[in-house]
Amino acid sequence: MKLACVLASVAALLGACAAPLEHAVPADAAAHAAVGAPAAVAAPADALQARVDQLCAAWNKPDSPGCVVGVVRDGDLVFARGYGMANLEHSVPISAATVFDLGSTSKQFTAACIGLLAQQGKLSADDDVRRWIPELRDYGAPITVRHLLHHTSGLRDYLDLFLLAGRKSEDWTTRAQALAMIARQKQLNFQPGERHLYSNSGYFLLAQIVERASGTSMAKFAEREIFAPLGMRDTHVHEDHRLVVPARASGYSPRGEGGFGIDMSDFEQTGDGAVMTTVVDLAKWERNFTTRQVGGERLQRFLHEHGRLNDGSELPYCCGLVVDTFRGLERVSHGGAWAGYRAQLMRFPQHKLSVICMSNLATIDPSSICSEIANFVLAEHMSAEPRPRERTQPMARGAPPPAPTAEAMLGYPGVYESKELEVRAEIALRGGALFLGEVGLADYELPVLAPDRFGNPGFTVEFARDAAGAITGFHCGTDRARNLFFAKLWRE
């Protein structure tokens, strides 16, 4: 993949429902029979189905990917229904038995594995991470397991690092490669505990800690300690990209020319994602928050423990769960997005209600769907919706930055190298503008932002100079992987 295409993707990333269809794609009938009576929902069952049908109507077609929706009340899955297709090539509809990739919604399972190991006395949340991952660089201040759990470690996000190194989600990458990438990083985004910044590196490293503390892979540990005891027979941690997964939904993204293209990943990293499951199995995990069958009360306290910064301020992010309020009600949730999959698991513990949505189309927003369902079911218990903020007049833009002189522009082109990413890049000058990309393929334009600073929102390049004024390299990065240095090797 061209580096320029990757950079364009980075910049892009950072920078109404139709009437219900007459024939909805049905959920698996056996799953319905096993999970209880829809009448347990506070809203009438037919009204609930009509509302969910309406929310998901846009995708409930034989030529569209879609989603599955589940509602859990008092520990029972009282509603489960699929919309759209699990596989467009074979015309397989989505049902309650369809397996989806949870993306980052998987993080709560990783945190649960850590909590169970702490109960077994095999590790502590206050352990220095380097006790378990000695490959990690010593940054002068200890990074603890707790920092990883709460996204306060300061570690650069390895997914962004992979992206900047030109690796796509559909490429095959291994856990060893991800660990090596993290271990090569010379700097943190900030000192441990100083800030909260979501980092997939932390949860990937937690999976490595689970493996080293338990003596088995996280996939096997989670199966033994969580999935099997709860009867989650169709759930696993996906650590082998070649593994055949019965009833798995294919992931899709829209194509620019219309229709859909396959959007799947061959990454083998676990911990930050990689749990595959069904709505029926996920309801069994939800039930555990009430029954405490796995982990007891101690695991529940562990998962719901709020993170804190060095200054003592409390974070809404706990351990793979976000605890906040929604229209006056306590809410526990976590979303997920990976390749063409999207997911949300949203719980309202005071009312023993949970809403699940998993999709196989990158443009579906399960968080909005879950929120709308919660609005419908719990309307009488919720406070009024906040008024939308009034729009303020946009600030007047200042004058554009002065363009570098033609002579100054001649100093930028050349070949640059990042030791941390193990990649080379080229800066080229064409028609008075700078372009960045792989050597020989520099076609991502870098507009002028300021003297020695070029780029776009979400991705900038800032050139460094020595005492004599000669360019020695440039710094670049994303919000989750900051200040990466590319040293200049030679001129174009």
Kindly report, residue by residue over 401-430, the tens digit of the pLDDT: 778 888 899 999 999 999 999 999 999 999
Looking at per-residue confidence, does 405 or 334 come out higher?
334
Q: Whole-prediction pTM value?
A: 0.88
pLDDT at residue 172 is higher than 50: yes
Is the pLDDT at 4 greater than 90? The verdict is no
Say what the pLDDT of residue 37 is: 34
Of all residues in the chain, what percent carry a pLDDT higher than 90?
78
Q: Which residue has the tokens 């007459």?
A: 22
pLDDT of residue 404: 87
Lowest mean pLDDT among 25-34, 319-328, 368-377: 25-34
- Higher per-residue confidence, 29 vs 434: 434
The phi and psi torsions of 35 (rounded to 5 degrees) equal -105, -5
Query: What pLDDT does residue 333 have?
Result: 97
- The chain-wide mean pLDDT, for the chain, equals 89
According to the model, what pLDDT value does residue 13 have? 42
**In the chain, which segments carry CATH 3.40.710.10?**
97-381
Q: Is 152 exposed, middle or buried (0-12, 13-18, 19+ CB in 10 A)?
A: buried
Provide the pLDDT for residue 14: 38
Q: How confident is the model at residue 390 (pLDDT cuts 50, 70, 90)?
A: low
Sorting pLDDT into bands at 50, 70 and 90, what band is 22?
very low
For residue 230, what are the contacts with CB-CB under 8 A and spacing of at least 6? 284, 285, 287, 288, 293, 294
> What is the per-residue pLDDT for 398?
63
DSSP one-letter code for 461 = E
- pLDDT above 50 (res 242): yes
**Could you tell me the pLDDT band of residue 295, with boundaries at 50, 70 and 90?**
very high
Class of domain 97-381: alpha beta
pLDDT tens figures, 128-154: 999 999 999 999 999 999 999 999 999
pLDDT number for residue 69: 98
Q: Retrieve residue 60's tokens.
A: 């409930």
| Rounded-to-integer distance, Cα 51 and Cα 28, Å | 19
Note the pLDDT of residue 65.
98
CATH node for 402-490:
2.40.128.50
Least confident among 168-182, 201-215, 301-315: 168-182
The pLDDT > 70 percentage for the chain reads 88
pLDDT at 7: 55
pLDDT, greater one: 339 or 42: 339
Residue 28 has pLDDT above 90, yes or no: no
Instruction: Look at residue 282 in the predicted model and tell me its pLDDT.
Output: 98
Question: Residue 55: which pLDDT band, with cuts at 50, 70 and 90?
Answer: very high
The mean per-residue pLDDT over the stretch 436-449 comes to: 91
Strands 172-173 and 266-267: parallel
pLDDT grade for 476, boundaries at 50, 70 and 90: very high
Q: What pLDDT is attached to residue 19?
A: 29
Q: What pLDDT is stored for residue 101 in this prediction?
A: 98
Domain with CATH 2.40.128.50 in the chain: 402-490
Q: Is the pLDDT of residue 26 over 80?
A: no
Mean pLDDT of 242-259: 95
What integer is the mean pLDDT of 36-48?
59
